Amino acid sequence: MNEAGPADGRAGAGRRPWVVGVSGASGTPYAAAVLRGLLAAGESVDLVVSRAARLTLRDETGVSFRDGHWESDLAAWLSRGADGTEGAFAPELSRVRYWPAGDLAAGPSSGSYPARGMVIVPASTASVAGVALGLSKDLLQRAASVTLKERRPLVVVVRETPLNGPTLRQLVALDEAGAVVLPASPAFYAGAGDLQELVDFVAGRALDAMGVEHALYRRWRGELGGAARSAGHS
Residue 113, marked binder: no
Phi, psi for residue 85 in degrees, rounded to 5: -65, 120
Confirm whether residue 145 is marked as ligand binding.
Answer: no
| 126 among annotated binding-site residues | yes
**Residue 125 labeled ligand binder:** yes
Q: Which residues have a Cβ under 8 Å from the Cβ of 102 and sit 6 or more positions away?
A: 138, 139
Burial class (CB in 10 A: 0-12, 13-18, 19+), 211: exposed
Residue 24 among known ligand-binding residues:
yes
Beta strands in the chain (DSSP E): 18-22, 45-49, 96-98, 117-123, 154-158, 180-181
* 109 marked as binding residue: no
Q: Is 205 annotated as a binding residue?
A: yes
* CB contact at 8 A, 101 and 51: yes
- CA-nearest of 187, 83, 70, 171 to 127 is 171
* Residue 50 in marked binding region: yes
98 assigned binding-site residue: no
Residue 108 per-residue DSSP state: G
Q: Which residues are annotated as a binding site for FMN?
A: 24-26, 50, 124-127, 159
Q: Which residues are annotated as a binding site for dimethylallyl phosphate?
A: 189, 205
Q: Which residues are annotated as a binding site?
A: 24-26, 50, 124-127, 159, 189, 205
